[in-house]
Amino acid sequence: MAGQLKDRVVLVTGGGSGFGRAAALQFCAEDARVAVGDINPDTAEQTARAVRDAGGEAWAGQVDVSDEGSVRRFFDAALKKYARIDCAFNNAGILGPVGELHQVSIADYERVMAVNVRGVFLCMQIEIRQMLDQDAPPGGHSIVNTASVAGLVGSALLPAYCGSKHAVVGLTRAAARSYGRRGIRVNCVCPGPIETPLAEPLFEQGNMRELMLARQALDRFGTPEEVAALVVWLSSPAAALITGTPVRVDAGALS
Ligand SMILES: NC(=O)c1ccc[n+]([C@@H]2O[C@H](COP(=O)([O-])OP(=O)(O)OC[C@H]3O[C@@H](n4cnc5c(N)ncnc54)[C@H](O)[C@@H]3O)[C@@H](O)[C@H]2O)c1
């Protein structure tokens, strides 16, 4: 489907690593122009450089998605550069502490909710206001949020994370209902465990790796590129009928 996003402007948060970086590179392979945001400006710039090295167009900026002022400054700069947002991948997130609910500090809980929920909310607000002001491209504007399988079922050792990802699924569904008739599709991806810096503490917890693998239908963990491929497809006109849908990409973990 190369070229399916020709000239569209795509914004990616958490673009300095993992799913975000893989998605930025795949969006560029579809001829989109990519605005990369991350709390780490160096890794964001590395992603933008990788896109440009692959012959694509990208710009990078620093953003802490949990901070309203930072989000506003990042979007102002991205819009100054590209003037529109056709697709957004709200993907920045943190895992927070691994442990049961009674062990989690309020500060850790609040940080997880601030990044994973308030971050998605703040970014969606600006994206939607901008999209409502533009003509929709064929297949509609697209927003894809990163939830998780932990947004669909309980996860005993990740209570704050699990609650935050359920909220991402809820925000996704609510926005899909609001804006579907105004040219904006909103979906989320629900990956299973995939080895990225974020998931490292989970993979290193006791025999968690074996337990997580045993729970899956497939006998391997996925890759960031496999999540990115789903995100790009959901953002493309090929997915024009799909909105309000949490899509599992989990090697059959919840099958
Ligand atoms: N890896 C997994 O197993 C897995 C599974 C399901 C869902 N997820 C979700 O996928 C998303 C991406 O995670 P990943 O696995 O690619 O991890 P990652 O650590 O490789 O990437 C996350 C990126 O988000 C950035 N980030 C963190 N806090 C930020 C903030 N406040 N503002 C802006 N950027 C911030 C980090 O700097 C990093 O570049 C997250 O939302 C995560 O919850 C991951």
- Cα of 45 vs centre of ligand 1, distance in Å, is 16
Query: What is the pLDDT at residue 2?
Result: 79
In the predicted model, is pLDDT for residue 1 greater than 60? no
Mean pLDDT, rounded, for 120-140? 97
Mean pLDDT, rounded, for 181-209? 96
Ligand 1 atom nearest 116 alpha carbon: 41
Query: What is the pLDDT at residue 137?
Result: 95
Mutate to test the pocket of ligand 1, among 124, 165, 196 (most ligand atoms within 8 A of CB): 196
Asked if 109 is an active-site residue, the reply is no
Distance, in Å, from the CA atom of 240 to the CA atom of 46, rounded to the nearest integer, reads 32
Instruction: Tell me which fold the domain 9-248 belongs to.
Output: Rossmann fold (3.40.50)
In the predicted model, is pLDDT for residue 13 greater than 90? yes
Q: Would the CB of 145 count as within 6 Å of ligand 1?
A: no
DSSP-assigned states of every residue in 159-190: HHHHHHHHHHHHHHHHHHHHHGGGTEEEEEEE
Ligand 1 atom nearest 191 alpha carbon: 6
- Cα of 153 vs centre of ligand 1, distance in Å, is 19
Other beta carbons less than 10 A from residue 209's beta carbon: 15
Q: Would the CB of 198 count as within 6 Å of ligand 1?
A: yes
